[in-house]
Structures are given as structure tokens and as C-alpha cells.
Structure 1
């Protein structure tokens, strides 16, 4: 059985279904379009299906699992914590696939955090589940390289595609191994990240270096429609920007020049070249934004 949260799990679901490993699918808090599509595919493939739209609905999960009687339950970005009443179905029967290395990146959005923190590598962590988020014994961390220029969207797609092979490998291990080795998480290395708030997505021009700002912008693209900031007195989101290796003598956060990009001074004497922004008017190229500000200046 696979419990999932939406599109991120689709490649894994497709591969596991093709290899005849799936007996049922449960989706938590998915939008109607995704839920309906998954239900239709499940019916066509003669696979059990159930939707868990909210926390209250989890009370129905144990009785459903008892009917389906899966050998194991895989969780891929399932949004709700499973209570002991569900986990007691079987010792080491529930395996979560976390899209970030554990125990260093616990929490609901490790993809955002690893990008913001300028990591060069992340992981898909397979671990047995307990009654706390992301704290069960680790089976393995499967490393994934973060390429220069990876955004939240690019890394999400990369991890989603890798997830398919990781879950298939896990299914094969369970089928042929008499015991799956695991080890407790090292709590001294653990860190839990809450879901990002505005303070986490806002550019601090006085403290953040140019490379840190670029990393934040990439971490916010596309889920937050860019990193939040103020330019020319207007609240905007910077969607795409690159590092500009040109020194300056301007106060950080001020616009140094308008070219094909909007070039902004940073605290480390470097600049970022903004290419695309989101404004109240809409999504604009840097050139369009520059032209707009010139018009307003007149």
C-alpha cells in the first residue's frame, strides 16, 4: 500500500504499479483534480483507493488497512501524522520516504531548506515510521546531487523521478530479504524545520550575501513565486536572478543600474542581476520593470 500527498509520488506509483507491487493507494489532502485522476487510475488497475482529505479522516485508516491487509505501507509526502492506532497494524510495517537527509532536515519542506542553505547534496531517506514526524529508525539515505542553478521546481522533479527507483529498490529488498537493517537517528545532528513563513522567504539585504540571495530566490521558485523583497517602494517577488561579478559602492539593496537586467547591490560588494519579477501588475521581465519605473519617474 502507498500513502501519498499528490503529484510528487506519481512516478513512484506508476513504477510500483507496473512491477505489481501496489495493492492500494491512499491520498491525503490532494486537490480534486489529482484525487479524481488517481482514483480513476486505481479503478482501471483494480487497485484499492481511499482519500483522506483532513486529519479527522485518519480515524478511518486503520479499518481500511485491516480490510486491504498490505504486507507493508509506503508513505511518500503523506501530509498527516499516523497515530499509534494505525501504526500498531504491524511492527516495522510502515516506511516513509523523506525528500531530504535525516536527521539533519526534518520537516515538511526539506527541498526549500537544502537550497536556501546552499547544500551541494540532498537525499531521499527511507526510514521506519513512529508516532513522530521523521524520527523513526533510518534504513538508508540515498544521496542526490544538487546542481548549480537548481530551483525548488527542478530539484522537486529530480527527486520525484529518483523516488520511483528508490521505492522500487525498497520493495525488492522487502521481498527478498529476511530482515531490513536500520539504525536510530543521531539526535545530536537533528534539526526540524517548520513550514517557511514570510520571514524565511524575505531577502535581508543588510545581512545576506549575493550567493545567499540567489540561493533563496532559487529555493522560492516556483512554490512561493519567488523571494520576497521591496524594490523602488514596491513589494515584489524576484523569480529569476544570477550573480553579477561587478563590485559597487552602493548601499546594499539599492538598484545600481538598469540594463537587460535589474542590477542590485549586495552587502558583500557584489551584485545580483534580476531577470524576472512578480509584481502587482503581473510577472515582468527586468526590462519591462525598468521601463515601468522610468514611466512612473516621469
Structure 2
């Protein structure tokens, strides 16, 4: 029986763990490289690699990337797969082999290039996202596309929920590509359509801040979900205090043209706030200077009805 292809996985942390486990089980995993990993994750992967007689290398910063070419040539993998690896690979590294480097991007390409497509698809209220397998070149997310594997975004999905869902699907997508290179003579691919391409920079504070005067209720809830848990929640200001809204839902009651951002009602489970288009949101969990808590446990020291978020 023909030996399995030897695959080196370059990853950025625990998002790739399920893929590493599955490829190891299927006898494809040959080596692991991690970039910018926490000390705990690096140590865990290094021990796992050592226990399974696999090559391992940590690339904690851009400077350390100068060692990558030498390392790859020393271990001689058949293919190099990348899953959320944080550094761009240079032409010198990529010269190891034509179509030997394949990236698995957690968002549809070319529409969602960038470092955090999970945030962007949720913020933009997409009904589905994708895992895109594509060949790598010396530009982020621009190599020829092998395929986009669609993933449904369910109502109420947060950044955390969607990340877990994509991590599980990623393992099967990567295994499918591993089988393609194992049993196929050539992997088909297509040039990316630049007319629909967009690159999203890493979100800044302005991207996570609720604009009450421009965002309707569903847009605010989508932003809240997109910020949970990586940013703790969506940013807002109430009575001069910076707060983060962690969980909110659209409240299907009109507010009769109250000024947007105004607190209309406080009940046991939520703070109801006026939004654009005569809509409301019900805020259920917030983070304040007092900590993260449900509204039921939030120490409301004064009557906030009529106060305005901005």
C-alpha cells in the first residue's frame, strides 16, 4: 500500500486542534509549526509532536520566520497546509514546491479576505460563510481557489459558536484535501475574481462600537454577536461609562419614535432600548466597571429609564 503523503500543518493555535487530531488519526500528519502561540499551547503541541515522533517548530514572531525555509527543507514534507497561521510566507519559503502550500481560510474567498472573516460575516448579517481551500502565494488570501465549502450561519450564532462550528468542519475539509492529493494526480483550482474581492483589516475600536444613529436593531444584535466573546461584547457608552453589550436580542415591540439609544424599560431580564426604524433591542448581559453580569444581577443604583446609550 502506498504511504500517505507527509503533511506539515502550520497553525496559529487551538482552532486547528481538531484538524491536527483527525490528520494524525488518518496518518497524514507529519509535522507541526505554530506561530504566535501561547506558551501553554506551544508546550502542549510540542509534547504531542514528540510523543508521536513528529517534527515541531515554533515561530513566535516575524523574525523567527527566517528559519522556516531551512526547517522545511530539513524535514521534507510532501505538502504544507496552513490553518490560521499568522505570518505571510515569503517567496523564498514558497519556492519549496509549486502548489505544495495550501491555506484553509475560515471565510469565503475572495469576498472575505483578511484576518477575522468570522467577525465580518456575522457583522454583515450573512446567512452563510465558508471554509476556502486555496493555494498560497506571497499575498494574504490571494492564491488560486480549490473550493469554497459553505457553512450555514444559524440565528443567534456568536463569534464563539461559529468558531467552534468552523473548527469542527475544518477538520473534515482538510482531510478531504489530504485525500485529494493522496489519490488525485492534480488538484483543480481557479483564479480569484478580483471584481468581487475585498480585504478586511483587523477590527478596530470604531468597528466594534455601536452607532445608534445609523444601525437598526438587527444590525446592533449582529454586531453584539460578532464581538462575543473575543471583544467581550460590542462597545457602547452609558452615562459617561464605557460598557460592553454581550448578549442582546431584537425586541418585537415598537417604541413610537423615542430617540434612538434611549432606555425605554427595565425588567427582570433585560434593558429595552430604542433603535432606528421604531425598533427595540433587549439587552440581557453587559460588562460594566462592576463586572460581567445579567441584567437581573446588575446593581442598578438609579432609575435609568430615559437615559441614553451613545
Q: Which category describes the TM-score, using the shorter chain as reference length?
A: over 0.9
Aligned length: 295
- Note if contact 1:228-1:237 (Cα within 8 Å) is conserved in structure 2: yes
Secondary structure at 1:12 match in 2: helix
How far 1:294 moved relative to its partner?
A: 4.2
C-alpha displacement of 1:254: 1.0
Q: Name the SS for the 1:208 alignment partner.
A: coil
Question: Residue 155 of structure 1 aligns with which residue?
Answer: 162
Q: How do 1:133-212 and structure 2 match up within 5 A?
A: 133-212=140-219
SS in 1 for 2:278: coil
Q: Distance in 2 between matches of 1:265 and 1:290?
A: 22
Tell me which stretches of 4 or more aligned residues in structure 1 moved more than 2 Å: 287-295
Superposed displacement of residue 285, structure 1: 1.3
Mapping of residues 214-253 of structure 1, within 5 Å: 214-248=221-255, 249-253=257-261
Aligned counterpart, 1:118: 125
SS in 2 for 1:292: coil
Supply the distance in 2 between the matched residues of 1:180 and 1:288 (Cα, whole angstroms). 56
Residues 28 and 51 in structure 1, CA contact (< 8 A), matched pair in contact too: yes
Asked if structure 2 preserves the Cα contact closer than 8 Å seen for 1:262 and 1:290, the reply is no
SS at match of 2:211: coil
Q: Provide the secondary structure at the position in 2 that maps to 1:291.
A: coil
**1:31: Cα distance to partner?**
0.4
Distance in 1 of aligned mates of 2:238 and 2:296: 14
Q: 2:49 aligns with which of 27, 31, 42?
A: 42
1:156, CA displacement in angstroms? 0.1
* Separation in structure 1 between the aligned mates of residue 26 and residue 230 of structure 2, nearest angstrom: 32
- Cα distance, 1:290 vs structure 2: 5.9
Matched, 1:264 2:273: yes
SS of residue paired to 2:277: coil
CA distance in 2, matches of 1:8, 1:244: 34
Whether the 8 Å CA contact 1:258–1:290 is kept in 2: the answer is no
Deviation at 1:288, TM superposition (A): 3.1
1:61 and 1:99 map into 2 onto residues whose CA distance is: 24
CA RMSD of aligned residues (A): 1.0
Cα contact 1:105–1:193 (8 A) shared by 2: yes
Q: Which runs of 5+ in 2 are unaligned?
A: 1-7, 305-310
User: Contact 1:220–1:226 (CA<8 Å) still a contact in 2?
Assistant: yes
Deviations 1:213-267 (A, max 9, x none): 0000000000000000012332100000111011113100110111120111001
Uncovered stretches (5+) of structure 1, i.e. residues with no partner: none
